[in-house]
Chains A and B, each alone.
Chain A
């Protein structure tokens, strides 16, 4: 019996020491905390390059834009992060009204086009991201369809139950999509929601994140979807046979923004990240990592492959960020109430 207990206490001690060591292992010097709306695959290389350039380590966690904003608002009294990194700007604008951001005008502020910055500096754009239609090649062939070139093409019975796109409750992609449709119908909500209700028949599932439907479309689990170009081209780069197309009535593009959190524990480090992200220093790296955002800084060239795809887009219009920010909550709730239960 004695040896058993010795063995037991030995093992107990071992586990305790082990867990202590693990917890001590975390203690970097200059650390910045961020919520990233960019998927980890893109945020991580950027933050690693940032650390290489400045020695500042970025501790981050990825959330969809709705979740990230919800967290930032919930933590208003005691902010846990310094920067909200990436994500469609409607998210950031909704945040201004909640008073969660601190204005900061980075070095590149003056050279940025007006639509890439908030006049007071509550957010700045780091890139541009148009929405696209993305369809599976085999699906189109099987159904003798051309790549969709109009919003109305998506109402074709061939698409019924075969489209995947994002859920407006969690995804900024979905919010941008809804505001695009609103613009296409000249902000006539009744007509726009009528269209969305019809489109609802084509939906297989609304995914939690914006790119959630890309691989199912790539695999042929779904036939088509509406995604940001950055997600669509990634699917193509990974070797899935998908076609990107644009509707002739036009489709929205959204600024990807970055903002400093009010009451941040490390505001100086946060500002350095914003300086870096809004400058060519970061945006020149996008093509290196095959991240197909359109750079916001005028001095950064659009990667040739991406530029070629964009040539096919006759009618891409910027989403009115002020209108989107002010109406986001109401429109999303309306979508949940009217479109979702169809």
Chain B
């Protein structure tokens, strides 16, 4: 019998021997098919079908428009530039933080300032950049006296996205740099290498896979970003996610929107594949191996250390300045015209905005529990159980997370507007979107943590006669609890701050704070938009503190920090 069939038979045998696993696998697949594969199939069908026939004419039609072609190249260009600049900045920060012998205090400060952009609602950066660098911005006009500075265009989007996304590169690269044993560098030093040579021949080569990974993560993040270009790109620099959004909401051309998002899907999926099959393999080789004997890190000369720290600090101060500005804008009457202190924007937030706050909290909390448990269960199955379709389950479960939100949102709109599953206009569709999109982060955390647990613990339980489910309850659950908390935290944070997918899914009955922020921005109530943003940042910060508190109580050796999970 061919090897494949033997494997299949064995896999099936194992499945049926363990009914709990068998049932979970079947149930999970049903969910994955309904909420991930079916919507994506809808986009494909709409893209390639015309009156019942397979055709490329829809794509040709959309690509015949100059604006769309421009948007495609702009998106790729922007994503590449953000990938490069964000990775360089992230590497610089990570290198300074890990290799420049920073004191604990400095290191904590860098971490805290850098995490801000990651937990902010969209538009935050866009609003504060207009406040600072607009034609009447605090910096460009009041400070530097420019009168004709043009804020709209690629330069602003590039700047805003770099500041917003470089923390992802920082978190990715910090873990890798910290994993490089200083003794390796020591060896080079003792052989007489200069610091520059050590950096070029030892440190940098070891980080290359990490750099590639960080580039891809940033590339994908920028490709998917819809909020920043919508505000800052102006009309000379169209990008795909905003074009798809305008095509659907403005021109009511769902097919056009689907085709545009399919075009967006091509580079996004390429990145996903590259990351999974090329970078990921090299990646793990470099970061395994525990740090050996503690030795002083000598990678950076003392004089350089001060300069590095200085540069990092000034960027952190820039970030803090932008957030202070956001807060300031939320407590003055009309930023730019009337700087009288007032609470009226917060009054609006807590009266008119109350419904959005309630809706968002209900959805985020429900999504958090569903998404957290969903992630832990799948993560447990794919890292601890052997069954047919294991690796395809892993790939499918990560799909919605890896693809730009605009695609997922449009796909959901297409799939769930009509029977058999007509759930547009309900909270369910938004929750489902969050669970199957951000639950993926919970899956990855769970897998990462479970891989560090010695299988012998569970085998011991099994050999003592415990059933699979008992072992799971008594042994595995306590072990995965930290993963669960991480997952809950990440799903909650993302649910509070996401917009690209859910902008298509809000309805008269269920709306979200982030959508309200966009609405307030387009109605030019920037004070209210700022107040909403401050509220979201505050809620998310409180939740992070709580989750970290829990993590400290239940902490396992080697468990990752919540902030690391936000990285990618």
Whether A40 contacts B523 in the complex (CB less than 8 A), given A66-B250, A66-B251, A70-B248, comes out as yes
B234 to A205, Cβ gap below 8 A?
yes
Nearest chain A CB to B521's CB is how many angstroms away? 9
Whether A41 contacts B336 in the complex (CB less than 8 A), given A204-B152, A220-B136, comes out as no
Nearest B residue to A209, CB-CB: B522
Per-position binary interface string of chain A over residues 160-189, scored 1 when its CB falls under 8 Å from any chain B CB and 0 otherwise = 011000011110000000000000000000
Nearest chain B CB to A170's CB is how many angstroms away? 4
What is the CA–CA distance of A241 and B340 in the complex, to the nearest angstrom?
18
Nearest chain A CB to B475's CB is how many angstroms away? 14
Q: Which residues 171-227 of A sit at the B interface, judged by CB distance below 8 A?
A: 203-209, 211-212, 214-216, 218-222
Per-position binary interface string of chain B over residues 351-395, scored 1 when its CB falls under 8 Å from any chain A CB and 0 otherwise = 010000010011001100000000000000000000000000000
B362 to A23, Cβ gap below 8 A?
yes
What is the CA–CA distance of A73 and B352 in the complex, to the nearest angstrom?
27
B508 to A60, Cβ gap below 8 A?
yes
B524 to A169, Cβ gap below 8 A?
no
B559 adjacent to chain A (CB < 8 Å): no
B553 to A4, Cβ gap below 8 A?
yes
Per-position binary interface string of chain A over residues 66-106, scored 1 when its CB falls under 8 Å from any chain B CB and 0 otherwise = 11011001110110110000000000000000000000000
Nearest A residue to B507, CB-CB: A80
What is the CA–CA distance of A60 and B247 in the complex, to the nearest angstrom?
24
Partner of B554 from A4, A66, A169, A205 at Cβ < 8 Å: A4
Whether A39 contacts B523 in the complex (CB less than 8 A), given A4-B554, A336-B67, comes out as yes
Query: Which residues of B are found within 8 Å of A70, using beta-carbon distances?
Result: 248-252
Nearest chain B CB to A86's CB is how many angstroms away? 14
Q: Which residues 486-524 of B sit at the A interface, judged by CB distance below 8 A?
A: 506-509, 511, 519, 522-524
Partner of A167 from B246, B338, B511 at Cβ < 8 Å: B246
B254 adjacent to chain A (CB < 8 Å): yes
Nearest B residue to A208, CB-CB: B522
B290 adjacent to chain A (CB < 8 Å): no
A341 to B66, Cβ gap below 8 A?
yes
B235 to A206, Cβ gap below 8 A?
yes
What is the CA–CA distance of A41 and B352 in the complex, to the nearest angstrom?
10
Per-position binary interface string of chain B over residues 249-286, scored 1 when its CB falls under 8 Å from any chain A CB and 0 otherwise = 11110100000000000000000000000000000000
What is the CA–CA distance of A8 and B152 in the complex, to the nearest angstrom?
49
Nearest A residue to B553, CB-CB: A4
Whether A337 contacts B66 in the complex (CB less than 8 A), given A4-B553, A40-B523, A238-B334, comes out as yes
A144 adjacent to chain B (CB < 8 Å): no
Per-position binary interface string of chain B over residues 411-428, scored 1 when its CB falls under 8 Å from any chain A CB and 0 otherwise = 001000110001011000
Per-position binary interface string of chain A over residues 140-169, scored 1 when its CB falls under 8 Å from any chain B CB and 0 otherwise = 000000000000000000000110000111
Q: Which residues 34-65 of A sit at the B interface, judged by CB distance below 8 A?
A: 35, 39-41, 44, 59-62, 64
What is the CA–CA distance of A64 and B230 in the complex, to the nearest angstrom?
15
Partner of A219 from B65, B337, B366, B425 at Cβ < 8 Å: B337
What is the CA–CA distance of A167 and B234 in the complex, to the nearest angstrom?
11
Whether A167 contacts B523 in the complex (CB less than 8 A), given A22-B361, A35-B508, A219-B336, comes out as no
Whether A204 contacts B150 in the complex (CB less than 8 A), given A35-B508, A209-B522, A219-B136, comes out as yes
A240 adjacent to chain B (CB < 8 Å): yes
B417 to A74, Cβ gap below 8 A?
yes
A170 to B135, Cβ gap below 8 A?
no
What is the CA–CA distance of A187 and B525 in the complex, to the nearest angstrom?
36
Per-position binary interface string of chain A over residues 111-144, scored 1 when its CB falls under 8 Å from any chain B CB and 0 otherwise = 0000000000000000000000000000000000
A340 adjacent to chain B (CB < 8 Å): yes
B251 to A64, Cβ gap below 8 A?
no
Whether A78 contacts B422 in the complex (CB less than 8 A), given A220-B136, A238-B334, comes out as yes
Q: Which residues 223-249 of A sit at the B interface, judged by CB distance below 8 A?
A: 238-240
B70 adjacent to chain A (CB < 8 Å): yes
Partner of A67 from B150, B249, B424, B511 at Cβ < 8 Å: B249
Partner of B65 from A39, A44, A209, A337 at Cβ < 8 Å: A337
Nearest A residue to B250, CB-CB: A169
B352 to A40, Cβ gap below 8 A?
yes
B134 adjacent to chain A (CB < 8 Å): yes
A239 to B337, Cβ gap below 8 A?
yes
Query: Which residues of B are found within 8 Å of A40, using beta-carbon distances?
Result: 352, 519, 523
A25 adjacent to chain B (CB < 8 Å): yes
B337 to A218, Cβ gap below 8 A?
yes
Query: Which residues of B are found within 8 Å of A333, using beta-carbon distances?
Result: 251
B250 to A170, Cβ gap below 8 A?
yes
Query: Which residues of A are found within 8 Å of B250, using beta-carbon distances?
Result: 64, 66-67, 70, 167-170
Query: Which residues of A are found within 8 Å of B136, using beta-carbon distances?
Result: 219-221
A340 to B67, Cβ gap below 8 A?
yes
What is the CA–CA distance of A239 and B148 in the complex, to the nearest angstrom?
23
Per-position binary interface string of chain A over residues 14-33, scored 1 when its CB falls under 8 Å from any chain B CB and 0 otherwise = 01001100110100000001
A332 adjacent to chain B (CB < 8 Å): yes
Whether A41 contacts B523 in the complex (CB less than 8 A), given A70-B252, A74-B252, comes out as yes
Q: Which of A23, A61, A74, A215 has the most CB of B within 10 A?
A: A61
Nearest chain A CB to B487's CB is how many angstroms away? 14
What is the CA–CA distance of A189 and B506 in the complex, to the nearest angstrom?
38
What is the CA–CA distance of A220 and B70 in the complex, to the nearest angstrom?
30
Q: Which residues 144-196 of B sit at the A interface, judged by CB distance below 8 A?
A: 148, 150-152
Nearest chain A CB to B74's CB is how many angstroms away? 12
What is the CA–CA distance of A10 and B370 in the complex, to the nearest angstrom?
18
Nearest chain B CB to A285's CB is how many angstroms away? 19
Whether A66 contacts B249 in the complex (CB less than 8 A), given A35-B508, A219-B336, A238-B334, comes out as yes
Nearest A residue to B520, CB-CB: A40
Query: Which residues of B are found within 8 Å of A208, using beta-carbon distances?
Result: 230, 522
A22 to B362, Cβ gap below 8 A?
yes
Nearest A residue to B425, CB-CB: A80
Nearest chain A CB to B531's CB is how many angstroms away? 15
Query: Which residues of B are found within 8 Å of A211, using beta-carbon distances?
Result: 523-524
B361 to A212, Cβ gap below 8 A?
no
B249 to A170, Cβ gap below 8 A?
yes
B235 to A340, Cβ gap below 8 A?
yes
Query: Which residues of A are found within 8 Å of B254, using beta-carbon distances?
Result: 74
Whether A25 contacts B252 in the complex (CB less than 8 A), given A204-B150, A207-B522, comes out as no
Nearest A residue to B147, CB-CB: A142
Query: Which residues of B are found within 8 Å of A332, using beta-carbon distances?
Result: 251
Partner of A240 from B67, B247, B337, B506 at Cβ < 8 Å: B337
Query: Which residues of B are found within 8 Å of A4, using beta-carbon distances?
Result: 553-554
What is the CA–CA distance of A161 and B152 in the complex, to the nearest angstrom?
10
What is the CA–CA distance of A15 and B492 in the complex, to the nearest angstrom?
13
Q: Which residues 101-136 of B sit at the A interface, judged by CB distance below 8 A?
A: 130, 134-136
Nearest A residue to B417, CB-CB: A74
Q: Which residues 407-447 of B sit at the A interface, judged by CB distance below 8 A?
A: 413, 417-418, 422, 424-425
Nearest chain B CB to A44's CB is how many angstroms away? 7
A61 to B524, Cβ gap below 8 A?
no
Q: Which residues 288-342 of A sit at the B interface, judged by CB distance below 8 A?
A: 329, 332-333, 336-337, 340-341
What is the CA–CA distance of A340 and B71 in the complex, to the nearest angstrom?
12
Nearest chain B CB to A31's CB is how many angstroms away? 10
Query: Which residues of A are found within 8 Å of B148, using beta-carbon distances?
Result: 161-162
A205 to B235, Cβ gap below 8 A?
yes
- 20 residue pairs of the A-B complex, CB under 8 angstroms, read A15-B365, A23-B362, A33-B508, A39-B523, A40-B523, A61-B508, A64-B250, A64-B522, A74-B252, A161-B150, A162-B148, A169-B251, A170-B246, A203-B235, A205-B235, A216-B524, A239-B334, A239-B337, A336-B65, A337-B67
Other than A59-B509, A67-B250, give 13 A-B pairs with Cβ distance below 8 A.
A8-B550, A19-B361, A19-B365, A22-B358, A23-B362, A39-B523, A59-B508, A66-B251, A80-B425, A169-B247, A212-B523, A221-B136, A239-B334
Which A residues have a C-beta under 8 Å from some C-beta of B?
A: 4, 8, 15, 18-19, 22-23, 25, 33, 35, 39-41, 44, 59-62, 64, 66-67, 69-70, 73-75, 77-78, 80-81, 161-162, 167-170, 203-209, 211-212, 214-216, 218-222, 238-240, 329, 332-333, 336-337, 340-341
In the A-B complex, the 7 residue pairs with the smallest Cβ-Cβ separation, listed nearest first, are A169-B250, A70-B252, A66-B250, A170-B250, A221-B135, A209-B522, A215-B524
